């Protein structure tokens, strides 16, 4: 195994998914992982941690001026989170679709937020929103050695080489 945060290779796109403290408290981690596995994506990194305010202020640096920012920091540091890196064909866009709209009231049924949450300030999960965001966030949350390159035996069946 060797390190890589992103790759230009087709089918090798990577994204960051975080189960937020409410998702961990409510024991939703397994069900969220299951959705990504069943879709056909490959887990390439996984850990549980207590987020520092430093990491969070970097992660959410575009939101520092928002009125809800201090509540967001309190929420995100209220307990452990589970951080994952997932790889696969167009995983960044697909996982945004699987996670649903930021406000659970607007999230479609069938999405994580649409199925498991009610309120925008307790929306269970984070997913990177763009290739630039995914690269930046994977580098922020993981060390290179924590991301693994491995072959999954069904890859040639779930995804044709582009
Ligand atoms: P995203 O998580 O869907 O990418 P962002 O706009 O980047 O949405 O917001 C980051 C997080 O900040 C949201 O997931 C949510 O936890 C929180 N947040 C966003 N808007 C509000 C709000 O209006 N009130 C409270 N919390 C919010």
What pLDDT, in 10s, does the model give residues 76-128?
Answer: 999 999 999 999 999 999 999 999 999 999 999 999 999 999 999 999 999 99
Gap from CA of 1 to ligand 1 centroid (Å): 35
Gap from CA of 26 to ligand 1 centroid (Å): 19
Q: How far is CA 21 from CA 2, 154, 158, in A?
A: 30, 32, 32
Where is average pLDDT lowest: 8-17, 122-131, 140-149? 8-17
Ligand 1-lining residues (CB < 6 angstroms) = 63, 68, 72, 102, 120-121, 123, 126, 129
Residue nearest to ligand 1 atom 17, measured at CA:
121
**Helix 91-99 / helix 29-39 crossing angle, nearest 10 deg:** 140
Work out the number of other CB atoms within 10 angstroms of the CB of residue 143: 10
pLDDT above 60 (res 35): yes
Q: Which residue has the higher pLDDT, 8 or 41?
A: 41
In this prediction the ipTM stands at 0.98
Amino acid 1: pLDDT: 37
What's the whole-number mean pLDDT along residues 60-79?
Answer: 98
User: Which two three-digit tokens encode residue 24?
Assistant: 């961990």
Gap from CA of 65 to ligand 1 centroid (Å): 13
Q: How confident is the model at residue 11 (pLDDT cuts 50, 70, 90)?
A: confident
Instruction: Round to the nearest angstrom and report the end-to-end CA distance of the chain.
Output: 24
pLDDT above 60 (res 2): no
Task: Give binding residues for ATP as ranges.
Answer: 20, 68, 96, 102, 113, 123
Q: Hunting for tokens 């975080």 — which residue is that?
A: 18
* Ligand 1 nearest-atom number relative to CA 96: 3
Residues 104 and 117: beta-carbon distance below 8 Å? yes
Residues 44 and 151: beta-carbon distance below 8 Å? no
Amino acid 156: pLDDT: 87
């Amino acid at each position: 195994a060797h390190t890589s945060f992103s790759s230009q290779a087709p089918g090798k796109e990577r994204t960051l998914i975080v189960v937020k403290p409410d998702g961990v408290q409510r024991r939703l981690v397994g069900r969220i992982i299951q959705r990504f596995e069943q879709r056909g994506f490959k887990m390439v990194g996984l850990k549980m941690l207590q987020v520092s305010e430093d990491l969070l202020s970097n992660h959410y640096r575009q939101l520092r001026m928002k009125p809800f920012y201090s509540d967001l920091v309190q929420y995100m540091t209220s307990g452990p989170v589970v951080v994952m890196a997932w790889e696969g064909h167009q995983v960044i866009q697909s996982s945004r679709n699987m996670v649903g709209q930021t406000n659970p009231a607007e999230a479609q049924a069938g999405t994580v937020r649409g199925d498991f949450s009610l309120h925008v300030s307790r929306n269970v999960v984070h997913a990177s929103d763009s290739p630039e965001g995914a690269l930046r966030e994977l580098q922020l949350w993981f060390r290179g050695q924590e991301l693994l390159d491995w072959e999954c035996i069904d890859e040639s069946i779930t995804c044709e080489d582009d």
